Amino acid sequence: MKGLYSRITGTGFFVPSRVVGNAEIGDRLGVHADYIERVSGIQTRHWVAPGEDCSWLGEQAARQALEQAGILPDDLDAIIVSTTSPDVMFPSTACLIQGRLGVKGMPAFDVSASCSGFLYALSMADGCIRSGQYRRCLVVAAEVKSRALDLTDLSTAILFGDGAGAAVLEPSGDPGVGVVSIRLHADGAFHDLVKIFGGGSRRPLSHEVLEAGAHTLRVQGSKIYRLAVRRLTQAVQAHVAEEHWAVQKLDHLIFHQANSRLMTQVCQALGASAERCFSIIESLGNTSSASLPIALAQAHRSQRLQPGHQVLLGTFGGGLTWGTALLRWG
């Protein structure tokens, strides 16, 4: 088995049933619903209801992916979960999802890489399969960002939604089909641009932290926007050239659904036509690390992805972290 490609054999996604429109958020912020759509491209997003949590969202997406792959939870060799909004500080959300799936024994652990977390987790699963360590890996990205929002903060309250996406990876029987390569990057010099600064060991939860709003998500939007466009564009160009592919021959470009203007600008910088750039941000908003696997699952299930298609995945998030993946679908 050593040296094989891995391939995605099943995808899944799940969002909570509560739909939150721009008017509801705009009323709180004193802005018009049309303004929110104009600056973000978002019309609606989904937020969890009381009693719904990150591991529950992840379980639903995981079960869809497992069903599509035609395997049972007992068939898995590893569970890797990306989240920055876990149910609890510990144990890991992966262990909670493992328990919800009713299985035990295989390793289960979390990855924290902000909005880039799905590609970080996918890379770990891909490496384990290529090395022969595991045969079947479940990768889940699940986020509940709505409970970390300051609903008076225009820069964050309009953007974020909740949801989960999942993928099952198995060895590919065809060396020309599957995950061709994944490239990951980070630059900790910009760690301050996207953060929840309170509630950790540096600033434990206290009345002072709560009063300062340090337990809520903060984003320096204009700075990270400029960095995201430049770094992601450069990363895509370098990765495609490394594999001797061409942007013009990519069938699909699927990016982290952060902001519609950001995705449009990256695609324009790459010279990629709009119809090849898959977008779901209009109805789901920015679901952080879950947005990429949700978009992938929707593209897969709508039959946009066909055998032999060249697919680019790209993401960018806090840390700073960013990454790209090239897949030959099959």
Q: Which residues are catalytic?
A: 115, 256, 286
CA end-to-end span of the chain: 19
- DSSP 8-state assignment for residue 98: H
Cβ partners under 8 Å of residue 213, min gap 6: 150
Which has the closest alpha carbon to 109: 90, 135, 133? Answer: 90
17 vs 12, 40, 51, 59, 255, CA distance in Å?
Answer: 16, 22, 13, 15, 24
Instruction: Tell me whether strands 78-82 and 108-111 are parallel, antiparallel or unpaired.
Output: parallel
Whether 170 contacts 136, CB under 8 Å: yes
Measured distance CA(319)–CA(163) in Å, rounded: 21
The amino acid at 17? S
CA–CA gap between residue 33 and residue 260 (Å, rounded): 16
* Half-sphere exposure for 59 (CA within 13 Å, toward CB): 16
Nearest-5° Cα angle at 280, 274 to 286: 115
The beta-carbon contacts of 99-104 under 8 Å, at least 24 apart in sequence, are 100/55, 100/56, 100/59, 101/59, 101/62, 101/63, 101/73, 102/73, 103/73, 103/74, 103/76
